Amino acid sequence: MKKLAVVAFGGNALLRGDQKGTIDEQEANAYDTCLKLSYLVKKDYNLVITHGNGPQVGNILLQNVAGAKMFGIPEMPLDICGAYSQGFIGYILEQQMRNVLEERGLDRDVITIVTEVLVDKDDPAFKKPTKPIGPYYTKEETDAIIKETGFVFQEDPRGRGFRRIVASPVPYKIANRHSISKLARDGQIVIAVGGGGIPVHYTRPNQLKGIESVIDKDLASSLLAVQIQADEFMILTDVPKVYVNFRKPNEKALDMVSVDEAKFYLKEGQFTDGSMAPKVRACIQFVELSGKEAIITEVSRLGKEGSGTRFVLS
C-alpha cells in the first residue's frame, strides 16, 4: 500500500514578503514549491496538498475596498474572498505541478477541490481576532488603513511590520473528505482545504451559510489528515526546524518532541500565534487523534537525513 501524506504549506510560499504579488512571481514560486514536492511523488506517495492564503486573501480584501470606493462594486464577505483565493491558488499550483510532472516523466492527475469547512458560529474566536492576513505594513501605512477601513491590526513578533488580524474559529468537519481521500488513494494529487477552507456554519438544520472569518490552514489540514486517515502529516515552512528560545543566545532546535513536551512549550509561550504556535497545535492534534507522527520542516529539506522537527505521541 502506498503511503498517503497530507502536506501543508503557507501562502507565503507563493507570495513572499518582499514581492508585489504579480502572477509571474506567484507562478515562479509555485513551480519552485512543486519541484521540491515532486520528491514525494517520485517516492510513490499518494498526496494531498493544502496551502495558506494569508497574503492573497488580504490583497483581495484591499481590492474589494478599492473597487467599492472607486467604482461602487459591491464588497464581498471574507468567506467569498477565501473562495476566490482557493480557486486562483489552486489553479496556479495545479498548473505548475503539471509542468513539473511532465518535465520529469511522472504520470499523475492533479485536481483542485474548493473546500468548505464547518465551524461553530458561537466560537469565542469571533470575539477575539488572532489570524494575520494580507501583507506587512509600516506603522504609518497601518494607521492610514485603520482610518479608512476600521480593520484590526497587530504587530508581527518577528519585527516585519503590521498585519491585519481576523477571527479564526476551530474547524470541525471537512466537506468532501471522502472524495478527497478516494481521489488521493487512487493516485491523483489533490489540492484541497486551501487557506484553511471556506468557513461555513448552520443557520438552521440542513442550511449552510458562509461566515466572516479565516480558518487556520494548519489546523484544518491536520483535521483533514485525521479524517482521511493519512499516514503522514507534514507542515512546510521557512525554517528547517522548530526552535525554543528562538533568536536568543540559548536558542535550541528540536529534532523530536513528544506531545506533552510540545504542550509545555506552548504553555511556556515559546511559540507565537502569528508564527509557529498554530503549526505546533496542528501537529499535536494530528498525533493525538491518529497516533502517528507529524513533521515541521523547510520545503527544501524534504527527504534529507535528520530534517525537520518530528512530533510523536510519547
Active site residue 12: yes
Residue with cell 483542485: 112
Q: Buried (b) or exposed (e) across 51-76, using 16+ Cβ within 10 A?
A: bbbbbbbbbbbbebeeeeeeeeeeeb
193, three cell numbers:
482545504
Interatomic CA distance for residues 219 and 172, integer angstroms? 10
Q: Number of C-alpha atoms within 13 angstroms, CB side, residue 184? A: 30
Q: Which of 54, 58, 279, 308 is catalytic?
A: 279
Q: Among residues 194, 252, 201, which one has the least CA distance to residue 224?
A: 194
Q: Among residues 203, 191, 198, which one has the least CA distance to residue 112?
A: 191
Contact 133, 54 (CB under 8 A): yes
Active site residue 11: yes
- 3-class SS shares of the chain: helix, strand, coil, % to 5: 40, 25, 35
207, three cell numbers:
442550511
Q: Which of 217, 241, 274, 308 is catalytic?
A: 217
Active site residue 241: no
Interatomic CA distance for residues 254 and 189, integer angstroms? 30
Q: Which of 10, 11, 52, 195 is catalytic?
A: 11
64, three cell numbers:
474589494
Residue type, 122: D
Interatomic CA distance for residues 30 and 47, integer angstroms? 16
Strand pairing category for 189-191 and 198-204: unpaired
Q: Which of 12, 21, 176, 263 is catalytic?
A: 12
Q: Rg for the chain (alpha carbons), in Å?
A: 19
Q: Which of 131, 194, 196, 197 is catalytic?
A: 131
222, three cell numbers:
491536520
Active site residue 274: no
Helical segments of 72-185, H only: 78-103, 139-149, 177-185
Residue with cell 486517515: 229
Give me the active site residues, please: 11-12, 131, 217, 279
